[in-house]
């Protein structure tokens, strides 16, 4: 995975992508704002949402045990996975035990996080994405670019081409009318749904008190997954827990209005264990850590775990709107990705460590977040973590080198003036059209995400000395 700035540079050069992103996002932003404004007392709801998520996280151990008890009593089975590999292993084992070589998949950010599709493929199992955009991403062998609309980087004409190429049933007369494309997906997946023996889904919420799985969706694919196959496997982060059923009255208002801007998402499906004569005969819940406890241990960083994955923050983010979701790497895009991914994965890799810098700290995300995550605050905190983790390395980070060097140079007026003169000469050699795209050596890091104006040919100090009589 490339660093954010490198990935963003290619996205920025793609004008078609930027147009796709801008149109859709602006419309979504307006819908969300209207849906929030219509409901009087929006801020009271956000405050309740924040407090409930905090309460869930601060006694997470107790809530998880309560959840496990409730799911088990309702006829389900709970599995615990410390990391992605273990979660994939558990799911693969369950699919094998059910004797299936194909599964249908829905609501899948968490399964994407753990790389489940690839793991199943290695075991000879095909995983079919069932949401339209997820399917488009899968057929195009792509990375998703938005939480709610993962194929946002493709316009309707591209999606038509893709479907024509990859769907046997979609004839050459398939147009780029979105309704026609949706109908093609319905036909393409119908048989698969009717024959599927195993479904794998994510979860929007897990109610500890009652053991209830809550899934919000609009296409009807998750309802089919929850209902038709004999075995249902849901993979959910341990952060998805809310304490009580009554708490859902808050999130069933916050999430639809901040995500699609609907008063209510077209379908909300809840499922508690196994119901005789209705839906799956076996229900497995896989609870996933995969770095969440690392985030939980950080008092500032843990607020990111309040996230209910609504996608409002990416729709208001000026950096996201221009760079697109795929620059954030394979896990979670947008501002929430910039604070969640480095915490889940750690900041050892350059790519993950670059994410906290993928922001101008404008604060628009914090203003819309339905659970009041102060994203800029967490970003700044994580930048500190990144620099701190690099301080102990044999090669110090450029920021540290730079500051040490500056302290030495500026400590003496003569050294400083010599440096200025030399620096100016070098800088003008590097610049093109008055801008410097990349500083040499270690300083190059700082110019990854910004251009630098070339300095004037003479410094202020030199000019001042010269003009004095």
Partner 1 sequence: MTASGEGPGGGSRAEVLRRVREALGGARGTRPPVPRRYARRLTDDEAVNRADVLALFTERVADNRASVRHVSADELGTAVAAALWGREAKQIVVPADLPFGWLAELDGVRALADTPAVDVDTLAAVDGVVTGCAAAIAQTGTVVLDGGRAQGRRALTAVPAYHLCVVHADQIVGTVPEAVERLDPARPLTWISGPSATHGIEMVRVEGVHGPLHLEVLVVED
Judged by CB under 6 A, the chain residues 347 through 406 that form the site for ligand SF4 are 368-371, 373
Interacting span for partner 1 (CB under 8 A) from 49-57, 344-352, 380-388, 432-440: 49-57
Site string for partner 1, 104-143 (x = CB under 8 A): --------------------------xxxx--x-------
Residue 105 or 146: which CB sits closer to ligand SF4?
Answer: 146
Residue 60 or 308: which CB sits closer to ligand SF4?
Answer: 308
User: How many CB atoms are located within 10 Å of the residue 151 CB?
Assistant: 24
Question: C-beta of 307: minimal distance to ligand SF4 in Å?
Answer: 3
Which among partner 1, ligand SF4, none contacts residue 25 (Cβ within 5 to 8 A by kind)? partner 1
Integer Cα distance of 138 and 108 in angstroms: 12
> Is residue 275 part of the contact set for partner 1 (CB under 8 A)?
yes
> Is residue 169 part of the contact set for partner 1 (CB under 8 A)?
no
* 99 φ/ψ sector (left φ>0, alpha ψ -120 to 50, else beta): left
Of the residues 107, 149, 201, 311, which one makes contact with ligand SF4 according to CB under 6 A: 311
Q: Under a CB-based contact definition with an 8 Å cutoff, are residues 329 and 337 in contact?
A: yes
> Is residue 226 part of the contact set for partner 1 (CB under 8 A)?
yes
Which among partner 1, ligand SF4, none contacts residue 221 (Cβ within 5 to 8 A by kind)? partner 1
> Is residue 264 part of the contact set for partner 1 (CB under 8 A)?
yes
> Is residue 52 part of the contact set for ligand SF4 (CB under 6 A)?
no
Residue 347 or 436: which CB sits closer to partner 1?
Answer: 347
Judged by CB under 8 A, the chain residues 232 through 251 that form the site for partner 1 are 238, 245-250
> Is residue 252 part of the contact set for ligand SF4 (CB under 6 A)?
no
Residue 233 or 314: which CB sits closer to ligand SF4?
Answer: 314
Please give the size of the binding site for ligand SF4, defined by CB under 6 A.
14
Integer Cα distance of 413 and 101 in angstroms: 74
- Name the site residues for ligand SF4 (rule: CB under 6 A): 258, 307-313, 336, 368-371, 373
């Amino acid at each position: 995975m490339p660093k954010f700035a490198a990935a963003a540079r290619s996205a920025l050069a793609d004008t078609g992508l930027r147009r796709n992103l801008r149109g859709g996002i602006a419309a979504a932003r307006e819908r969300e704002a209207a849906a929030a404004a219509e409901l009087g007392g929006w801020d009271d709801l956000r405050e309740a949402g924040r407090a409930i998520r905090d309460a869930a996280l601060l006694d997470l151990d107790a809530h998880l045990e309560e959840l496990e008890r409730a799911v088990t009593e309702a006829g389900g089975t709970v599995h615990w996975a410390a990391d992605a590999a273990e979660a994939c292993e558990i799911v693969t084992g369950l699919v094998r035990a059910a004797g299936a070589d194909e599964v249908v998949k829905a609501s899948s950010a968490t399964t994407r996080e753990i790389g489940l599709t690839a793991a199943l493929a290695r075991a000879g199992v095909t995983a079919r994405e069932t949401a339209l955009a997820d399917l488009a991403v899968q057929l195009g062998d792509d990375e998703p670019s938005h939480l709610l609309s993962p194929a946002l980087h493709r316009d309707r004409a591209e999606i038509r081409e893709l479907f024509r190429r990859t769907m046997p049933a979609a004839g050459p007369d398939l147009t780029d009318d979105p309704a026609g494309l949706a109908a093609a997906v319905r036909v393409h997946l119908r048989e698969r749904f009717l024959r599927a023996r195993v479904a794998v889904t994510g979860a929007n919420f897990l109610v500890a008190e009652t053991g209830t799985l809550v899934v919000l969706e609009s296409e009807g694919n998750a309802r089919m997954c929850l209902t038709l196959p004999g075995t249902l496997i849901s993979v959910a982060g341990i952060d998805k827990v809310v304490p009580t059923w009554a708490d859902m009255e808050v999130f069933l208002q916050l999430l639809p209005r901040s995500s699609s801007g609907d008063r209510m998402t077209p379908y909300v499906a809840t499922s508690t264990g196994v119901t005789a004569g209705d839906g799956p005969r076996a229900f497995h819940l896989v609870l996933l850590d995969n770095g969440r406890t690392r985030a939980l241990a950080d008092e500032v960083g843990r607020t990111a775990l309040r996230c209910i994955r609504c996608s409002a923050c990416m729709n208001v983010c000026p950096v996201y709107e221009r760079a697109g979701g795929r620059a954030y790497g394979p896990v979670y895009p947008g501002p929430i990705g910039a604070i969640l991914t480095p915490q889940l994965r750690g900041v050892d890799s350059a790519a993950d460590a670059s994410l906290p810098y993928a922001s101008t700290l404008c604060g628009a995300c914090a203003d819309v977040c339905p659970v009041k995550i102060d994203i800029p605050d967490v970003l700044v905190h994580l930048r500190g973590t990144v620099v701190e983790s690099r301080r102990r390395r044999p090669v110090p980070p450029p920021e540290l080198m730079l500051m040490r060097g500056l302290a030495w140079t500026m400590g003496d007026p003569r050294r400083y003036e010599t440096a200025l003169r030399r620096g100016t000469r070098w800088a003008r050699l590097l610049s093109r059209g008055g801008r410097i795209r990349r500083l040499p050596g270690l300083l190059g890091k700082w110019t990854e995400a910004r251009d630098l104006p070339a300095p004037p040919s003479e410094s202020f100090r030199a000019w001042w000395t010269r003009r004095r009589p």
